[in-house]
Amino acid sequence: MPTDWLALSPLLFLAAGGSVVFGAGAFWRSRPREVLFALSLVTVAAAGAAVVLVEPRASSFAGVLDLGNYVRFFNFLFLAIAGLTLLFVRHYARERGFAGDEFYGLLLFAALGLALLAGAGHWLIFFLGLELLSLALYVLIAIRKGEAGSNEAGVKYFIMGAVASAFLTFGIALLYAATGSLDIGGSLGARLQPAELPLFLAALSLILVGLGFKISLVPFHLWTPDVYQGAPAPVTAFLSAGSKVALFAALLRFSLALGEAAWNYALPAIWGLAVLTMVVGNITALRQTQVKRLLAYSSVAQMGYLLMALVAVKEGGAPALMFYLAVYAVMDLGAFGILGTLSGEAADLDALEDYQGLGYARPWRAAVLGVCLISLAGLPPTAGFMGKLVLFKVVLQAHYRVLPVIGILTVIISMFFYLKVVVSLYMRPRGEGPAVSKGEASGALAGAVILILLLWLGLLPGQVLTLVGRIAG
């Protein structure tokens, strides 16, 4: 069978674009940041077009990389995240002097890492994607070389990433020992003798811990607020939306591939982690007075909602999870992205008091931020409401009773801190806060796209729901 290179074109575009951007930086003395920006954006757009247009002929590439619609859905989502991040970061990076080949090139490679993670059919590819993503993110987080906070965040993420990788590799090794296969579907779905089960479960728990670090499930979430706060806001946006969605997409596929017996062992663990993550994430967020930390804990809690619905994944929960992942990516990216465009040059706008009165001083961006927050809180008419609706629906459909009730109670708790930010934006007078950045075109475009997406998915989600239903079914 001839190799279907065309089906790989999105990945090839990203790799080629990243390399060209790096090359241009190395050989083009003047390092023209606008050209590099345009090149990156074109790369992302071309890769996105390739995802939509190219129908893969086979369902997987050489058995190591899935090419199905599920993967195409997520690849499109990742490219949208990367594109919006580029729009948000353009002005931000230029103002702070880190716009250039390193940043744009690494962002493209990070996007490639995301695609590999979601599409991996083989543990090596998965590991490759994870390391590619993580390496790029270590640098991106610490991209402001003069900033102590940024560097600290980079180091923290690095150490945490190393620990997570260690857990994951060890887990994969044990899985190989238990099943003799490095194929993801084959190893997870292997029929096991009872005697092999302990080894297999040990492998699974190590992998779950590794993933838990990366998507910051409680109790592996402690790095999240520090890293989110230290990283430049657009990078936080990419980290929060991109890497968590990709790893959750992987987790979703692992869960689907898992055999019946092992799944029954995994369920209580997922149930417990979900409750812990929702409760701790939301309650800790209540006390935050810094918006980035608050949003960091909110993203922890959002992962908890997703994990809650993961218990229903074998009973038709996958479309709901895919829908919510897309919604989560848009609203979280929007919140951090707008935060970045509002921030002055010296430091990101972080203290809650500095947001006071922005609803009137910067009405458009404050409105987008407000809609993102309302969506994260799960109120209509935004996408977050529809997302929560489908999540709770699948959980109830799978005959869980206590879990959704705990979930909805934590949603009620979460209202308080989301509204706290809205209150600051609109209901308190503007104080002597730090200077707030003026608007610029690319950030405004990204904000408009996010606003439209959130309202569209909140009011008329029919098409997207049908699409994810068809892909998962």
Partner 1 sequence: MLHFPILTVIIFVPILGSFLPLALHRHPAGARWSSLAVTLVEIILVGSLFFLGLKPQAGPQGAWLLLEEYSWIAGFGAKYSLGLDGISLVMVLLTAFINIFCVLISWDAIEEKVGSFFFFILFLEGALIGLFLANDLLLFYLFWEIQLIPMFFLVGVWGHKNRIHAAIKFILYTLTGSLLMLIALIAIHILHGQQTGVYTFNLYQLMHTRYSFTTEVLLFLAFLLAFGIKIPLIPVHTWLPDTHTEAPTAGSVDLAGLLLKTGIYGLLRFGIPLFPNAAKFFGPLLLALGLGGLFYAAWVALTQTDIKRLVAYSSISHMGLMVVGIAIWNPISLSGSLLQMVNHGLSTSALFIMVGMLDERLHSRDFAALGGLWGKMPVFSAFFLLFALSSLGLPGLNNFVGEVLILIGAFQSQPVIAILGFCGIVFGVIYILRMVQDSLFGERRGEHELWDINGREALILVSLALAVLFIGLHPTPLLNLLEHPVQTMLHQTQQVALLGM
Which whole-number Å values give the CA distances from 368 to 78, 135, 162, 251, 376, in the listed order? 21, 31, 36, 31, 12
258 near 189, Cβ under 8 Å?
yes
Q: Is residue 415 involved in binding partner 1 (CB under 8 A)? A: yes
Q: Does 54 bind partner 1 (CB under 8 A)?
A: no
Q: Locate 344 and state its tokens.
A: 């002055």
Listed residue (138, 165, 170) closest to 154, CA to CA: 138
Cβ 110 to partner 1 shortest distance, Å: 33
Q: Does 423 bind partner 1 (CB under 8 A)?
A: yes
462 contacts partner 1 (rule: CB under 8 A): yes
String marking each residue 350-389 x if it binds partner 1 according to CB under 8 A: ----------x-------------x----xxx---x---x
Task: Please give the residues from 74 up to 133 whose contact with partner 1 meets the rule CB under 8 A.
Answer: none
Q: Based on CB atoms, which residue is closest to partner 1, 122 or 420?
A: 420
Residue choice 428, 440, 449, 471 for contact with partner 1 (CB under 8 A)? 428
Residue 98 one-letter amino acid: F
284 or 424: CB nearest partner 1: 424
Shortest distance, CB of residue 473 to partner 1, whole angstroms?
11
Interface with partner 1 (CB under 8 A), residue from 286, 408, 448, 452: 408
Long-range contacts of 125-129 (CB under 8 A, 24+ apart): 125/64, 125/65, 126/184, 126/250, 127/165, 127/168, 127/169, 127/172, 129/246
Which tokens hold the place of 379?
């109120």
Q: How far is CA 215 from CA 128, 162, 222, in A?
A: 17, 14, 11
Interface pick for partner 1 out of 19, 34, 63, 416 (rule CB under 8 A): 416
Does residue 419 touch partner 1 according to CB under 8 A? yes
Tokens of 376: 């994260």
Measure the CA–CA gap between 132 and 246, rounded to whole angstroms. Answer: 13
Considering only 15-23, 26-34, 91-99, 408-416, which stretch makes contact with partner 1 by CB under 8 A? 408-416
Closer to partner 1 at the Cβ: 261 or 423? 423
CB-wise, 444 or 465, nearer to partner 1?
465
Q: How far is the CB of 458 from partner 1 (least distance, A)?
A: 9
CB of 412 closer than 8 Å to CB of 286? no
Near partner 1 by CB under 8 A, which window of 108-116, 246-254, 285-293, 462-470? 462-470
Residue closer to partner 1 (CB basis): 141 or 451: 451
Bridge partner residues of 66 (DSSP): 60
Q: Which amino acid is at 242?
A: G
Q: Is there binding between residue 473 and partner 1 (CB under 8 A)?
A: no
Beta bridge partners of 188: none
Q: Which residue is it, tokens 């029929």?
A: 191
Element (H, E) at 53: helix 33-53
Which CB, 343 or 410, lies closer to partner 1? 410
Residues in contact with partner 1 by the rule CB under 8 A = 360, 374, 379-381, 385, 389-390, 392-393, 396-397, 404-405, 408, 411-412, 415-416, 419, 423, 426-428, 460-462, 465-466, 469
